[in-house]
Amino acid sequence: MLGVAVVFLALASVALSEPADEGPRWMLTGDVGTKILDAGRQHTLTIDRLDGELLRLHGPKPQAAPPAPGEELAAFAGLSTWIDTYDTDLTPAQQVDLAAANGVQAIYLQVSRESTNGALHDHERLAEVIELAHDAGLRVMVWTIPEFEDPDTDLARAKAAMAFVTPRGDRPDAFGLDIEVDDLADVGLRTQRVLELSAELRSWVGPDYPMAAIVLPPMQLEVNTTWWPGFPYAELAEHYDVFVPMSYSSYRGTDTVITHQWNHDNVVRLRQLVGDPDLPVHLAGGIADRLPEVETFVRAAQDTGVIGAGLYDLRTTPPAAWAALQALRTDG
């Protein structure tokens, strides 16, 4: 996230494929949709029919029962940590054990990246993290990073993430869309595509599935005015339950004043831009090993009344930081 692969495990890839010896290979191409390459024949696959392939590969799309009051925000409440697809120096068991031992309540797991050969980066590892996290009482939010140059690919990755089912039947508890990539130079088209993608995902998954907009922090866009002019905070609020600003104060400075002000002001400004003083926010801070003022970050989160917070990422969080982060835990 924000130029680094963030710890919400992102799922994605340019191709939704199966091994060559197990049947047809599905490739995402262009605006038409998807093509099957099967025994030398080529067939067009629309996005509607792509839903059927997602069903076959990953199970049915989530059909959540109406959540209990507040339950739709459960994956965003309290202390979180992030795991990205590059974090393979620890096994899934070691990652979950480390998180659970330090009071983490939710893991944000990246499940795809640009080089992924398939809609999801590593099915086995993804399934193992989800199942072990659930066994330890942790929730899991999976996230993807759209690039906005191929809308069909962005849509397929996000759908595959939400539709993923582990071998024993576990599912992710929530989904996050990491909205930051600026490779598409046309800002107006980029904005149009993120709003269309968000609307389509919400329509597809239904009103009860928890979704988070992982967004560029407003103060960063006021400093760097060319990154994404007119970022559509208010419009995105129509489709997402929670906003997760990537408020990495270590890029601005590491002293007490900057750490508090940057994180505090990003939350305040975000709520102003959305037009909702009670907007649910989960604060993503960091970078973990470059944030000496962890207690100050925690205080900024508490001062702004966010529903949860955590540092990017699990692998780089210093052991000494966990004691201060415990204050972010919530009951339940």
Distance of alpha carbon 7 from alpha carbon 107, whole angstroms: 8
- The pLDDT value recorded for residue 61 is 72
Domains of the chain: 9-328 (3.20.20.70)
d(CA 6, CA 23): 34
Q: Could you read off the pLDDT of 269-308 as tens digits, one per residue? A: 999 999 999 999 999 999 999 999 999 999 999 999 999 9
Q: Residue 40: which pLDDT band, with cuts at 50, 70 and 90?
A: very low
Contacts of 310 (CB under 8 A, 6+ apart): 79, 80, 81, 82, 104, 106, 108, 282, 283, 284, 285, 325, 328
Enclosing H/E stretch for 270? helix 256-274
3-class state of residue 15 by DSSP: coil
Closest CA to 20 of 39, 35, 46, 33: 39
Bridge partners, 34 (sequence order): 28, 45
pLDDT at 119: 85
| Average pLDDT of the chain, as a whole number | 85
The pLDDT of 184-213, averaged and rounded, is: 98
Per-residue pLDDT averaged across 65-75, rounded?
69
The pTM is what? 0.83
> Sign of the CA dihedral 93, 98, 99, 103?
positive
Tens digit of each residue's pLDDT (9 = 90 or more) over 309-328: 999 999 999 999 999 999 99
pLDDT per residue as tens digits for the range 125-156: 999 999 999 999 999 999 999 999 999 999 99
- Closest by Cα among 157, 152, 155, 156 to 142: 157
Q: How confident is the model at residue 190 (pLDDT cuts 50, 70, 90)?
A: very high
Q: Is the pLDDT of residue 68 over 60?
A: no
Predicted confidence at residue 62, as pLDDT, reads: 72
Task: Name every residue whose Cβ is closer than 8 Å to that of residue 308 and which is 6 or more positions away in sequence.
Answer: 76, 77, 78, 79, 80, 105, 106, 282, 283, 328, 330
What is the Cα 68 distance to its own chain's centre?
A: 23
In angstroms, the CA 174 to CA 161 distance is 10
Rg over alpha carbons for the chain, rounded to the nearest Å, is 19
Structure confidence at residue 71 as a pLDDT band (50, 70, 90): confident
Looking at the predicted structure, is the pLDDT value of residue 256 above 50?
yes
pLDDT of residue 233: 99
